[in-house]
Structure 1
Amino acid sequence: MSQTNSRLVLIVGAGPAGLALACDLARRGISYRIVDKADRLFIGSRGKGLQPRTLEVFHDLDVIDDVVDAGTPFPGFRCYAGDQVVWDRSLAQMLGIREPVATPDVPYPSAWIIPQWRTDEILHARLVRLGGGVELSTELVAFEQDADGVTATLIRDGVQQRVRAGYLVGTDGGRSFVRKELGVGFEGETFETERTIIGDVRVDGPLDHDHCHLLTRAGGVSSSERFSLWGLPGTEYFQLVANVSSDEVPALTLDAMQAMLKARSGRSDIRLHDLRWISLYRVNVRMAERFRVGRVFLAGDAAHVHSSAGGQGLNASVQDAYNLGWKLGAVLSGAPAELLDTYEAERMPVAADLLGITTRWHRQDFGGPPTGSEVGSGHKMFQLSLNYRAGPLAWEDRTAPGGVRAGDRAPDAPCCDAVGAPTRLFDVFRGPHFTLLTFGTDTREFVAEINTRYHELVRAYQVVRPGSAVEGASLADSEGFIHRVFEIDPAVGISLVLVRPDGYIGLVTCAENPATARLMRYLEMVTPIRVSGTPG
């Protein structure tokens, strides 16, 4: 049995990265198959923290309401000495930052806690609504590639199938078969003397569901002293976390976990039962030497693995998929193939930066706020300040750019549409298209021509100041926030801001360049449409 489709993307691994990528391709009308050798979606809570930037991605993928309903803001930490509370601290206090609050440009300011199995379930449900699904119990056992595609061998129920696809993406975890078959090195370090036990368990006793409970005998919080129980919202379960030395690993059983809790906390009033899932992890900090080999890509844990400190792994994985999805979609629709080179160019520096941050946090082990440049705002943890400014798709033409520039995450802002209905930039950006915001003198004819020429690939808008007339494809900057946050200089004349499908700013240019010519050159690099000349 065989299948051939040169426009097919074969995704191997149905974790958060694979599911997010499949959703993004599906909404673009790109053919894909997503397979996983497991017989069901992941059932554990492992990657339970979603960072604010990931919530923004989920807004765009149209799953944010389900994610918000299924989770809660990240809980506070409560430390015990025996049965006595020693201290209560919020996540912001642990990080040494101000308590986050929603602002017009950051609508999701707080980290969110939701068990990973629920995140996977929500993404899969979205994929089903888009007309797809995951092929479980289906294992990739071999693949080879040439200049025109990838030939993969899958096995399901003992039956072999050969699949011919345009591209293959390995989202198959830290032990990635795809990465190993490519022969790509996985450089970094393993903390050989440490192991981490994580499991999902129900708890009887005087612990609420609204905290991360750090249970100790004397109030010390070093990894060898504590037994942590995190309430998992929307469930009756807690996530248990215990670090152990490599030569003292207990049996992964309910009785052994109960004994460890008693030994570390001295308490007998907390009883564990119904151990739903448990796993033992070595702490690895590693990154693939390459994220792309020809027509095969690595994303998520297949490309980089982190310490769980700081909750970056799942979030970085989703960002990989979000970066790669629109580029695969564009190239498979006729955009220049060189666009795919920018995936590695943009994501490798981000992954390396996050690996450094999570390693520092891991080594500090709850010993006060983290050190380093990421402390002041906490935004590196939240992934709001991570950017692609140094990448090949960031074209910043202003001689004195402000705080928000090409390569940065595009901020949200309140506005009104052409009929006066309140909306927000994130809803204008939502979807698989580029968004062009035009500022300055009357740009209605220019906006109309862009919308006609690029159809649904680019949605262009004239952004007008408060009190100005709104017509056609226009947005009223009803509170002036859009002009302020993008730091638009009215003396320049026409200014253009092009927002990529993944919510990052691709181009900021102005009339003196001239703006329209720069825009056309950029769009020819990232869309299937080739044009001569520029709009009037």
Structure 2
Amino acid sequence: MTTNALTAATDVLVVGSGPTGLTLACDLARRGVAVRVLERLPAPHRESRGKGLQLEALELLGELGAGDRIRAAGRTGIVLRKYFDGEHISDTPSGAGILVGQWQVEEALRERLAELGVRVEHGAALAAIDQDAAGVRAELSDGTTLRAAYLAGCDGGRSTTRRLLGIPLEGSTAEEEAMVLGDVRAPGLDREFWHQWFTTEGGGILLCPMPGTDSFQLQAAPERDEQGRPLPASLESFQRLFDRYARVPGIRLADPTWLSSWRVNSRVAARMRRGRAFLAGDAAHVHPIAGGLGMNTGIQDATALARTLAAALTGPATEEVLDTYESERLPAARAVVADTTQRYERVVEAVRTPGHGTEAGMS
């Protein structure tokens, strides 16, 4: 992009190329809407992150032409193997849906988007937004200014779009991290199961084999220092946690490609639209991970927003038309936050009983 250049207008500018932004872009492009997708990262990531799609979300992606790719990359019917104090207690089917890494969902959607004539513009960070009756002006960090009829912020929980629009994210956030996460290899560990170890003392560790890779997604209660503060995610810490909770000799974790931490967030944006700019996905709502609803809810946001924007672009862009997205999705977001908060509480309570695991949050 040329610094300080003013580009020609497009119909919709999508900020963020996660599952939400890519779903929105694909849905708009297949309707003949001119769309550009901006992503601040210089290249696609390969992190498992959200790792499950429910049937409804999979059907929506199938309508966009990405379903077969995602099914080919994912896996159905994985068994949850539960341990307690190091002993194998029970196995539980995972139920409906598909296990697939978030990066694989994004890859399938990028491929579909390219078939529709649109490519993600990487290294493009949003810096400012200005609106008038004719459209939106978006300034990037390199000084480039883009014009669009509408803008959609799909840029995650730390959304730059939401901040620039001055929309508060209302709710609560836990003071401390509740979990450390990462993608690691675990040579010698059976990849047929999603292993879930819990103990009498509390805490635990989970290792889920990610399809199409030789890695597992690790989730665990964090280690704590002498003052009781959670330690950051690291391979060394992961190994100590594995030895403490799994008690499986001879397994050495290796090759971390993603290290992260997570804290309980239950928040919803005060609004999902300001003028010609909209919020979708984690930019509009963040919630506990129980039930694996995050990526799915963002995909549902995106399909609803595509309908709204297409209607506004092909007919009268009245306030009533533009308000249909928020009137549909804001109550849905609040319901998901309340639901997943309850699911998370059920999981925390359930894993204290031998033989119970994350399935307590599935319904």
Moved over 4 A (4+): none
Q: Which residue of 2 aligns with 1:279?
A: 260
- Report 1:217-366 matches (<5 A): 218=199, 220=200, 224-244=202-222, 247-337=228-318, 338-365=320-347
Contact 2:343 2:362 (8 Å CA) reproduced: no
TM-score by length of 1: 0.62
Q: What percentage of aligned pairs have identical amino acids?
A: 40
Q: Which residue of 2 aligns with 1:114?
A: 100
Amino acid at match of 1:167: Y
Using the alignment, how far apart are the partners of 1:248 and 1:44 within structure 2? Answer: 26
The 1:245–1:267 alpha-carbon spacing in structure 2 relative to 1, beyond 3 Å, is closer
Contact 2:177 2:261 (8 Å CA) reproduced: no
Q: Which residue of 2 aligns with 1:149?
A: 135
Q: Which residue of 1 aligns with 2:50?
A: 47
Q: Which residue of 2 aligns with 1:166?
A: 149
Using the alignment, how far apart are the partners of 2:26 and 2:102 within structure 1? Answer: 17
Find out whether 1:72 has 2:75 as its counterpart. Answer: yes
Using the alignment, how far apart are the partners of 1:179 and 1:19 within structure 2? Answer: 18
Contact 1:42 1:120 (8 Å CA) reproduced: no
Query: Could you tell which deviates more after superposition, 224-233 or 165-174?
Result: 224-233
Using the alignment, how far apart are the partners of 2:37 and 2:323 within structure 1? Answer: 23
The 1:245–1:236 alpha-carbon spacing in structure 2 relative to 1, beyond 3 Å, is closer
Using the alignment, how far apart are the partners of 1:332 and 1:151 within structure 2? Answer: 17
Contact 2:223 2:241 (8 Å CA) reproduced: no
Find out whether 1:213 has 2:195 as its counterpart. Answer: yes
C-alpha displacement of 1:336: 4.2
C-alpha displacement of 1:345: 0.2
TM-score by length of 2: 0.90
Using the alignment, how far apart are the partners of 2:6 and 2:147 within structure 1? Answer: 8
1:30 pairs with 15, 33, 38, which one? 33
Query: Could you tell which deviates more after superposition, 353-362 or 242-251?
Result: 242-251
Q: Gaps (5+ residues) in structure 1?
A: 93-109, 370-377, 383-536
Using the alignment, how far apart are the partners of 1:234 and 1:331 within structure 2? Answer: 40
2:109 pairs with 119, 123, 137, which one? 123
CA RMSD of aligned residues (A): 2.1
Amino acid at match of 1:48: K
Contact 2:51 2:102 (8 Å CA) reproduced: yes
The count of corresponding residues between Structure 1 and Structure 2 is 347
Amino acid at match of 1:84: E
Contact 2:14 2:25 (8 Å CA) reproduced: yes
Higher relative contact order (CA 8 A, sep 6+): 2
Contact 2:180 2:232 (8 Å CA) reproduced: no
Using the alignment, how far apart are the partners of 1:275 and 1:187 within structure 2? Answer: 34
Contact 1:51 1:381 (8 Å CA) reproduced: no
Using the alignment, how far apart are the partners of 2:316 and 2:71 within structure 1? Answer: 35
C-alpha displacement of 1:263: 1.8
1:203 pairs with 180, 186, 189, which one? 186
C-alpha displacement of 1:268: 2.5
Find out whether 1:3 has 2:7 as its counterpart. Answer: yes
Query: Could you tell which deviates more after superposition, 313-322 or 278-287?
Result: 278-287
Amino acid at match of 1:162: T
- Report 1:363-402 matches (<5 A): 363-365=345-347, 367-368=349-350
Contact 2:222 2:232 (8 Å CA) reproduced: no
SS at match of 1:46: coil
Using the alignment, how far apart are the partners of 1:320 and 1:381 within structure 2? Answer: 21
Amino acid at match of 2:41: A
Contact 1:14 1:36 (8 Å CA) reproduced: yes
Q: Which residue of 2 aligns with 1:413?
A: none
C-alpha displacement of 1:73: 1.6
SS at match of 1:192: coil
1:175 pairs with 147, 152, 158, which one? 158
Deviations 1:390-421 (A, max 9, x none): xxxxxxxxxxxxxxxxxxxxxxxxxxxxxxxx
Q: Which residue of 2 aligns with 1:19?
A: 22
C-alpha displacement of 1:381: 6.1
Contact 2:86 2:245 (8 Å CA) reproduced: no
Q: Gaps (5+ residues) in structure 2?
A: 352-358
Contact 1:25 1:32 (8 Å CA) reproduced: yes
